[in-house]
Chains A and B, each alone.
Chain A
Amino acid sequence: MTKSIISCGVYLPYLRIKRDEYLSALGRCSAGMREKTVLDIDEDVITMAVEASRVALAGIDVSRVGVVTVASTGFPYQEKAQAGTLVEALGLEKNVLTAQHSNSTVSGTESLLTALSLLDQTEQPYALVVVSDAPVSGPDVDLEHGFGAAACAFVLAKDEPGLVFEGVYAQSGEAMGLRYRLPGETDIRDIGVKTFAMLDYNETVKGAVTGLANKLGRNLTDYRHVVLHQADAKSATALAKKMGCTDEQIKEGVVYPYTGDTGACSSLLGLCRVLESACAGDCILISSHGSGSGSQALSFCLETPVPKSVVFEAVLGYKRYISYIQYLKQKRSI
């Protein structure tokens, strides 16, 4: 049986803040995006998840969805079966198999892998994967400057033409003090040593990506697009180049400059973007990363182009800029 992504949906909040706003308000910005997405006061990861799912499910018979997996590093409740909210909002059958992944930015690809496995446990042909994230920290924390918000959703199908899943390779190991959050706290922190964080990112992601290529008997040059996790402006591109990728392979999957750090969504959001221009026969590799740390590299090959229900550029273009003061109000910091 083949399993493929047959449609996808992206949701970005309407509100944006430019990096320049940080510069004029604080005199500096520790993140390298051009602008980033900002949750409105009545939005959270669940509302974004519903919107992205509605786009992905357009034209699909929702009664045939047998699996829902959902991922975020910051669900609105620490305990609650939140897939149930999606089931109601989307009108899915109440007997869907659900799974929630959290606690790390690697949870996005985890939820996709879980959905692929759970498809074997249902008679239904479709699974919905929703990844929605909006990392949070205090305005005085450097990490916070880059934090954006986004959601993406995918419909997976058994034996239907689309973006065929080919395989996965993972890396895991102990990495202390890099981006963590304690129970009861809303703010993410780290020990603030960038070179240490970079070293871990490079090692973990590279291990997953090269491991996957070896496992599938491929070279990285065989991939039309290589999309790596983007927690900052430079690391993903620098690592991909170090591994021998060309600009052509990298550039379309880079979304950080427009959204900021979208946590668990990162490489999956890049996947949605490259899918729009991908042609039959193109292979795509994505790799997630979560501090602590872990990385999962996934390989896909496009059998039939995935229909565009919403154009990514249009989603990027639908926006309103806010000031830094308004931004603090949105975050309820003032």
Chain B
Amino acid sequence: MSAHISIPMYQRAVPQRYRLTGKLCKSCGKINFPPKAVCKYCLQGASFEDVRLSGRGAVYSYTVIAGGGAPPEFETEARCKGSYPVLIVELEEGPRVITQMVNPPEEGIAIGMSVQAVFRKIYEEEGVIRYGFKFSPA
């Protein structure tokens, strides 16, 4: 399974991937992250304002991907670490995001634990580094 994303498509998402820019719906006031064409909460708002999310949140759910289960772009990382944790983080502004976790605590990950976005390499393809966010214990 590969989640190939073209460079132009990745590039368009740089504000959200690099600095967690979300879209505040002008109709209902909720924050869409990742951005949507139509607000996923009120299903009618299509006019948004950029807001930068704090990067603070809490673990809503998690799983650990075993080395063999990693998609090709994460293979080097899986080979280096054996396995890696993936979280669903509920951001303090409301949205939930799927993300990898760095520096997992030795005592294990707990639902509700505080986490913080960090800037990391997500993967590299054709020599082009795709940067983005992961989450670390806060």
A residues touching B (Cβ–Cβ < 8 Å)?
Answer: 14, 40-44, 46-47, 50-51, 54, 76, 85, 88-91, 320, 329-330, 332
Contact = CB atoms under 8 A, between A and B. Distances in A.
B61 to A, nearest CB: 22
Nearest to B15: A88
Interface stretch (B25-33, B62-70, B113-121): B113-121
Contacts of A42: 77, 102, 120-122, 134
B118 A89 contact: no
B76 A88 contact: no
B81 interface: yes
Ranked nearest first, the 3 interchain pairs of A and B with the lowest CB-CB distance are A50-B119, A89-B18, A42-B120
B103 interface: yes
A70 to B, nearest CB: 14
A129 B23 CA distance: 30
B77 A320 contact: no
B103 A320 contact: yes
Interface of B: 14-15, 18-19, 21, 52, 76-77, 79-81, 102-103, 106, 118-122, 129, 131, 134, 136
Contacts of B76: 41, 332
A80 to B, nearest CB: 10
A68 to B, nearest CB: 15
Given A41-B76, A91-B52, A329-B80, A47 B120 contact: yes
12 contacts: A41-B76, A41-B80, A42-B121, A46-B129, A46-B131, A47-B121, A85-B18, A88-B15, A90-B19, A320-B103, A320-B106, A332-B76
Contacts of A47: 118-121, 131
Choose among A51, A88, A330 the residue with the greatest number of B CB atoms under 10 Å from its CB. Answer: A88
A51 B19 contact: no
A14 B79 CA distance: 19
A89 B18 CA distance: 5
Nearest to A87: B18
A39 to B, nearest CB: 10
Contacts of A91: 19, 21, 52
Contacts of B14: 88
Nearest to B122: A42
Given A41-B80, A43-B121, 6 more contacts: A42-B77, A42-B120, A89-B119, A320-B103, A332-B76, A332-B80
A47 B81 CA distance: 19
A51 B106 CA distance: 23
A269 B78 CA distance: 32
Nearest to A85: B131
Given A89-B19, A91-B19, A44 B121 contact: yes
Contacts of A40: 102, 120
A140 B19 CA distance: 39
Contacts of B77: 41-42
Contacts of B103: 14, 320
